[in-house]
Amino acid sequence: MRRPLLAIFAATSMAVIAASQQPAFASTAPVPRTATGIPLDAQWKISIYHLATTKFKHPAWGWQHSERNYQVALRLAKGDHLNVDTDVLFAACFLHDMAAFPPYQKKGEHGVVAAEESVAVLRDAGFPMSKIAAVQAAERGHMYYSDAGSRPESIVLHDADSLDFLGTIGEARMISLTGANAASFRAGVTALRSFLHDIPPRLITKTAKSIGAQRVVELERELDELQSETFNGSAM
C-alpha cells in the first residue's frame, strides 16, 4: 500500500505546484470595445469612456468627435511611422474637449483648461500618472491654431482634430453649432469657408496633409452646392 500512497502524494504535489504557477485568475470574457471597436483593455479606459459617453454629449465636440479623433490619429501615426503611446492618446482624445461640459467649464482656452481638469479625473480612474505630462501636452496643443509640440501623441491629435473641421463631417459639425434658435446657418458656412484656407497649411503629418487635401475638395464642392441651392446664399 505504501507505493500507491507515495505515487498519489507525488501526483497531488505536482498538481498543486502546477496550479501555483498559473495566473491567480483567468478571465475568458471578451474585452469590451467602444462604438468603433477601440479595445477597453484597462479599467481606467472603461471609466473614461463611460464618463465621455454619458457626460460629453454634443454633435460638434462630444464623445463621437473624440472617438473619431482617436481612430484618425492612429491612422496618421501608422501612415507617418510615428510610435505613439496609446494610453496617452486615448486619455487625451477623450478628455481634450472636457472643458465644454460641466463641471469642468472654466475661463481660459479650453485645451489649457482640459490639461488642468483632466489630472484629477485620470488619477481617480487609475490612469498611470507617469504619463500625465504627455496627456496634458496633447490636450494643450490639439487645436489647429495651437503649437502641437514634438510629442507624437500631440502631433497626431492636433492633425486628427484639425481634419474633423474639414470634409462632410466638418460641415455637419459647424452647421450643428448654429443651434435651434439661430436665425440661419450662415455663420457656420462662413467658418467653414475660412477653414478651407486656414487649416491645411497647419497640418503636420504627411498623411494628414493628404487626407486634408481630399477633404478640402469635398467640403468646397458641398459649400458651392449649398450656395447654389440657397439662391446664391440669399435664402441661407
Same domain, residue pair 138 and 169:
no
Q: How many residues does the chain have?
A: 236
Give the global pTM: 0.87
Each residue's pLDDT tens digit, 89-105: 999 999 999 999 999 99
Q: Render the burial of 39-56: b for 16+ CB within 10 Å, e for the rest.
A: ebebebbbbbbebbbeeb
Same domain, residue pair 108 and 177:
no
Decide: 207 and 75 in contact? Cβ < 8 Å: yes
Position 118 pLDDT exceeds 70? yes
pLDDT at residue number 44: 98
Q: Determine, yes or no, domain membership for 203.
A: yes
Same domain, residue pair 83 and 125:
yes
**Residues 6 or more apart in contact with residue 207 via CB below 8 angstroms:** 75, 76, 78, 79, 80, 159
Same domain, residue pair 212 and 117:
no
Same domain, residue pair 129 and 85:
yes
Each residue's pLDDT tens digit, 136-192: 999 999 999 999 999 999 999 999 999 999 999 999 999 999 888 888 999 999 999
Decide: 33 and 40 in contact? Cβ < 8 Å: yes
Place of cell 450656395: 227
Same domain, residue pair 96 and 183:
no
Q: How many CB atoms lie within 10 A of CB 127?
A: 25
Using alpha carbons, select from 119, 42, 36 the residue that is nearest to residue 70: 36
In percent, the amount of the chain with pLDDT more than 70 equals 89
| Domain carrying residue 212 | 165-236
Split into its structural domains, the chain has a count of: 2
Same domain, residue pair 53 and 128:
yes
pLDDT at residue number 95: 98
Q: Determine, yes or no, domain membership for 2.
A: no
